[in-house]
Amino acid sequence: MPGLYRTLKYAAVLLWSAFVVAPLLWALTTSFKTINGVTGGATYIPWLDYKPSLEGWRELFNTSGTGVNIGQPFIDSAIVTLGASAISLVLGTLAAYGLSRFTYRAGFIRNRDIVFFFISQRIMPPIVLAIPFFLMLKFLGLLDSIPGLILVYIALLLPIAVWVMVDFFNNVPREIDEMAMLDGCTPIGAFIRVVLPNSLPGVVVAGLFCIIFGWNDFFFAFTLTFTRTQLLPVAIVALNSTVTPWWSLSASSLISVAPLVVVAFLVEKFLSRGTLAGAIR
């Protein structure tokens, strides 16, 4: 009986693993194909099923007219994601600390209402914001630009940072900051010198979440940019047409996924260490 149970357990885990990696393996093998490896029906194993080629990968860095050139969108995506994540993280951490330690009151509004206001922004469907964002950025002269996208992404990422950090700070013992303030620190001094160093895991987790959601957004990058600025997802999806070059499409999708696989390792590390338990609830 325990033997059967164990077999079933491993079978289930392996089956799910297969489902999870299948699309990525398919993209990997397709990225080495040429038109011949695609139009004859599904093929899987290089050399055996089809003749592998690096054409799909070479196209990505071909800056002449025929190429796809993924380099600049990659850099733009990185700047927008990291910029918006950094700003959201600073603003979000400060706000979350305030909300976890002090009492704010304005009329009938209490702390929990403010926390709810931050987090509830995630309910807002992107389509509701798209048109006004378009007009707002146009008015500010920031349409189709990196600063404009950063501004919009802050609205997406700040709620995530606040969500993660409020729960995290609620689990950091208050005695830490009270001791520091007894020693003569101002609240800001106590926060910077004592609380923040003790909360780094939470900050990292919040940062990773911001990076995941920033890097993977498509809709705003799609509706708010045209020619000057192009983010990676938009550049890649533009390849998806009637005569899709499956090989460069697959190669470029792997390039976009690669940086965040590192994030998966980091998230797992925090998860297994138990740091996430305090940070996300």
Partner 1 sequence: MRGQKYIFLLPGLLVLLAIILFPLLFTIRVSLSAWGVSQPGLNWIGIENYVGVLRDQRFWQAMVRLGFLAVGTVIIEYVLGFSMALLVWRDIRFRRVFRVLFLVPMMTTPVIMAVIWRTIFHESLGPANDLLGRIGIAPVPWLTNETMAMVSVMIVEIWLWTPFMFLLLLSGLLSQPREPFLAAAIDGAGPVRTFFNVTFPLMAPISVSALVIRLIEASKIMETVYVLTSGGPGTATETASYYIYIRGLRDFEIGYASSLSITYLIIMIVALTIIAKVLVRTMIGKQA
Identity of the residue numbered 161: A
- DSSP tag of 85: H
For residue 23, state whether it binds partner 1 (rule: CB under 8 A): yes
Rounded Cα gap, residues 74 and 71, in angstroms: 5
For residue 169, state whether it binds partner 1 (rule: CB under 8 A): no
Our CB check for partner 1 shows the closer of 39 and 66 to be 39
Rounded Cα gap, residues 261 and 216, in angstroms: 13
- In the range 178-207, which residues lie near partner 1 by CB under 8 A? 186-188, 191
List 50, 97, 168, 220, residue binding partner 1 (CB under 8 A)? 97
Our CB check for partner 1 shows the closer of 34 and 64 to be 34
User: CA torsion, points 165, 171, 176, 181, in degrees to nearest 10?
Assistant: 60
For residue 162, state whether it binds partner 1 (rule: CB under 8 A): yes
CB of 176 to partner 1, least distance (A): 16
List 12, 54, 179, 192, residue binding partner 1 (CB under 8 A)? 12
Our CB check for partner 1 shows the closer of 33 and 229 to be 33
Our CB check for partner 1 shows the closer of 61 and 104 to be 104
Kindly indicate which of the ranges 53-61, 67-75, 78-86, 113-121 contains the residues binding partner 1, using the contact rule CB under 8 A.
113-121
CB of 123 to partner 1, least distance (A): 5
CB of 54 to partner 1, least distance (A): 19
Rounded Cα gap, residues 67 and 58, in angstroms: 8
Rounded Cα gap, residues 215 and 74, in angstroms: 10
Our CB check for partner 1 shows the closer of 4 and 64 to be 4
Place of tokens 């390849």: 239
CB of 128 to partner 1, least distance (A): 4
Closest CA to 206 of 258, 163, 152, 266: 163
Place of tokens 């709810």: 116
CB distance 174 to 101 below 8 Å:
yes
- In the range 53-82, which residues lie near partner 1 by CB under 8 A? none
List 50, 74, 215, 220, residue binding partner 1 (CB under 8 A)? 215
CB distance 92 to 165 below 8 Å:
yes
Kindly indicate which of the ranges 12-20, 50-58, 59-67, 141-149 contains the residues binding partner 1, using the contact rule CB under 8 A.
12-20
Rounded Cα gap, residues 231 and 229, in angstroms: 7
CB distance 32 to 19 below 8 Å:
no
Q: Mark residues 238-257: x for contact with partner 1 by CB under 8 A, - for none.
A: -xx---x-x--xx--x--xx
List 154, 206, 210, 251, residue binding partner 1 (CB under 8 A)? 154
For residue 13, state whether it binds partner 1 (rule: CB under 8 A): yes
Beta bridge partners of 25: none
Tokens of 178: 């009270």
